[in-house]
Amino acid sequence: MRGGRTTVEFKEVNWKSLKRLVPYLTAYKGRLFFAVLCLVAAKVASVGLPFVLKAIVDQLNTPNQDLLVIVPLALLVAYGLVRFSNVLFGQLRDTIFGRVTEGAMHRIGHSVFQHLHALDLAYHLNRRTGGVSRDIERGVTGISFLMRFMVFNIVPTFLEIGMIIVLLLLNYSPWFALIVFASVVLYVGFSVVATEWRTNFVRQMNAAESQSSTRAVDSLLNFETVKYFNNEAYEADRYDEDLEEWEQARRRNRLSMFGLNGGQALIIAIAISSSMILAAYQVREGSMTIGDFVLINALMMQIFVPLNFLGFVYREMKGSMANIDAMFALLKVKSSIQDDPNAKELRIIDGHIEFRNVAFSYQTERQILSQVNFSVESKQKLAIVGSSGSGKSTIMKLLFRFYDLDSGQILIDGQDISRVSQYSLRKAISVVPQEAVLFNGSIFDNIQYGDVNASKEEVWEAIQMAYLDDFISQLPDGANTHVGERGLKLSGGEKQRVAIARAILKKPSIMIFDEATSSLDSQAEQRILQAMERVRGAYTSVVIAHRLSTIVDADNIVVLEEGEIVEQGTHHELLMQKGHYANLWAIQDNSYR
């Protein structure tokens, strides 16, 4: 396996999403059981209601007026009680089940986040932050919706319909049961077919929404660049195009919704009137009482009120499932950098690094490194120089195992880094990257990030080592100064020193500086070099540098050209060779004067 080949599977919306939620439901067996109990109790009460109503109407309607007033009164009280218990059990069910939904949302959100951080660099370089965060947000909301409506709507509705059909069959002409059954089947069938047809519009709408928010986030993140190039209007135009598309998609979505709702209303109307006509006819005939007529009416209303929601719920459920699928698709993305099944912990003895015949390419079509061989003795300083794009930062990324090699081996203290756990490998290495990026927090927090368990004293020690204390003491808020998004409120050199302090705090065995002094003036550079010198004995260091003056003292200098090592040796050896390095030195040496 190698970097850059991350697989993403996109599937049609499927009902399997429901199955994936089962483990989250069964995690709360007790609660689930009580919620279902309350659900059944609530539905029994609600189906019983029309029957009480019928008894009341029939009582009131009897010509025999000497009957005790007490009977209808008792019935009326019973009616109130049944109605109350219906609401009560419904509320109880919601309350009990709420925990289950929230628990599931919490756990799924957490595992997706964890999974995203476990993915390889290649994935993160290709993903779009705005899109991914929307996917997670919508997926988690979808889960809550799906669970709530499964328990609160779908299951109870069908339970109720079942009970009503049985009661109708037992008490009245089979025609009523038939009308209910046929209309429910027709209604559900129509809703499903129409909703299927609409799914495409919903998906288009989501895609348009995702697209516009990705673009908005990207554009806002690059606000500086936008200003450098006076492209505010261009950005706004592009966003406008996205919004236009989004608007169109929403319009199509709304029109199709109109068709669905209209059809559903028609089916309901036909079912209610035909059953009412039948009931009226039977009352005339004398085979049914007025109470029965009221009962049938009440039952029909009762069925179709939740069924009316069913259309909406089915639609939303489909939408939710599409969202949940999109989120689970994130979980299906596999990192192309995996721990070996028998991965051991990296055992650091003295931090010896060896590159053995390393070849690497990001894409097969373009070789980046080939035949790279070098080694760094324990606690020594290796410098890598070479023209821009020659593969210096790539070497750093390979050592950190952001990507796997095409061939060859990288060994640390004799252990192949692809055979040890990524965690133990990365624990041993600190990187000061070429472009330090900081979190949107205080300077102190950003440095402490190097070791979140470090004490205040340790953080200050690292601050001093990186010569940051002078700068910090000038700030009104000191180390609590906020650095802004991605650290943009600090100068390039300050940001780099924060990154150095953070790397030092990690207390690594191997330290990599990728152009760590590139944005510093000569004076600041000297201080950084002093800082590096100060801790030099503590670890093996790899220094990538353009400015050769910073690496004169290196124990070994590797000159990289187009991914191949063309020269290797100490500063003096390389000068003697009068090759690439000597040339570079001559140019820079002149330019510094």
Which residues lie near Mg ion (CB under 5 A)? 393, 434
Q: What is the DSSP letter of 449?
A: T
- Closest distance between ligand ATP and the C-beta of residue 122, in Å? 7
- Closest distance between ligand ATP and the C-beta of residue 5, in Å? 12
Nearer Cβ to Mg ion, position 136 or 532? 532
Under 8 Å between Cβ of 136 and 220: no
- Closest distance between ligand ATP and the C-beta of residue 358, in Å? 13
Distance, CA of 566 to CA of 396 (rounded, Å): 18
The option from Mg ion, ligand ATP, none interacting with 291 (CB < 5 to 8 A, set by class) reads none
- Closest distance between ligand ATP and the C-beta of residue 584, in Å? 13
Under 8 Å between Cβ of 355 and 401: no
Could you count the other beta carbons within 10 Å of the beta carbon of residue 319?
Answer: 22
Nearer Cβ to ligand ATP, position 174 or 389? 389
- Closest distance between ligand ATP and the C-beta of residue 369, in Å? 8
Residue 353 parent element (H or E): strand 353-360
Backbone angles phi, psi at 568, to 5 degrees: -155, 135
Nearer Cβ to ligand ATP, position 8 or 269? 8
Nearer Cβ to ligand ATP, position 72 or 386? 386
Nearer Cβ to ligand ATP, position 480 or 588? 588
Q: Per-residue DSSP letters for 527-561?
A: HHHHHHHHTGGGSEEEEE-S-GGGGTT-SEEEEEE
Q: Across the beta sheet with 381-386, what order do the strands follow?
A: 429-432, 510-514, 540-544, 381-386, 556-561, 564-569
Nearer Cβ to ligand ATP, position 434 or 519? 434
> 3-class DSSP state for residue 420?
strand
Nearer Cβ to ligand ATP, position 390 or 430? 390
Nearer Cβ to ligand ATP, position 346 or 398? 398
- Closest distance between ligand ATP and the C-beta of residue 355, in Å? 14
Residues 6+ apart with CB under 8 A from 94: 152
- Reading the block at residue 391, the tokens are 């593969």
CA atoms within 13 A on the CB side of 507: 8
- Closest distance between Mg ion and the C-beta of residue 511, in Å? 16
Could you count the other beta carbons within 10 Å of the beta carbon of residue 524?
Answer: 18
Nearer Cβ to ligand ATP, position 125 or 587? 125
Could you count the other beta carbons within 10 Å of the beta carbon of residue 389?
Answer: 11
- Closest distance between ligand ATP and the C-beta of residue 529, in Å? 19
Question: Buried b vs exposed e over 281-305: b needs ≥16 C-beta within 10 Å?
Answer: ebbeeeebbebbbbbbbbbbebbbe
- Closest distance between Mg ion and the C-beta of residue 389, in Å? 8
Nearer Cβ to ligand ATP, position 131 or 391? 391
Angstrom CA distances, 467 to 147, 464, 500, 502, 525, stand at 55, 5, 10, 12, 11
- Closest distance between ligand ATP and the C-beta of residue 313, in Å? 45
The option from Mg ion, ligand ATP, none interacting with 301 (CB < 5 to 8 A, set by class) reads none
Backbone angles phi, psi at 374, to 5 degrees: -165, 165
- Reading the block at residue 410, the tokens are 């990288």
* Site residues for ligand ATP per CB under 6 A: 125, 362, 368, 386, 388-394, 434
- Closest distance between Mg ion and the C-beta of residue 475, in Å? 30
Under 8 Å between Cβ of 96 and 38: yes
Nearer Cβ to Mg ion, position 82 or 431? 431
Distance, CA of 554 to CA of 104 (rounded, Å): 55
Nearer Cβ to ligand ATP, position 168 or 559? 559
Under 8 Å between Cβ of 524 and 470: no
Distance, CA of 175 to CA of 556 (rounded, Å): 95
Task: Assign 3-state DSSP to the chain and report helix, strand, coil percentages, each to 5.
Answer: 65, 10, 25
> What does the radius of gyration of the chain's CA atoms come to, in whole angstroms?
36
- How far, in whole angstroms, is CA 312 from its chain's centroid? 26
- Closest distance between ligand ATP and the C-beta of residue 565, in Å? 13
The option from Mg ion, ligand ATP, none interacting with 311 (CB < 5 to 8 A, set by class) reads none
- Reading the block at residue 536, the tokens are 């030099």
Distance, CA of 263 to CA of 277 (rounded, Å): 21
- Closest distance between Mg ion and the C-beta of residue 371, in Å? 20
Nearer Cβ to Mg ion, position 52 or 121? 121
Short-list 229, 559, 534, CA closest to 392 = 559
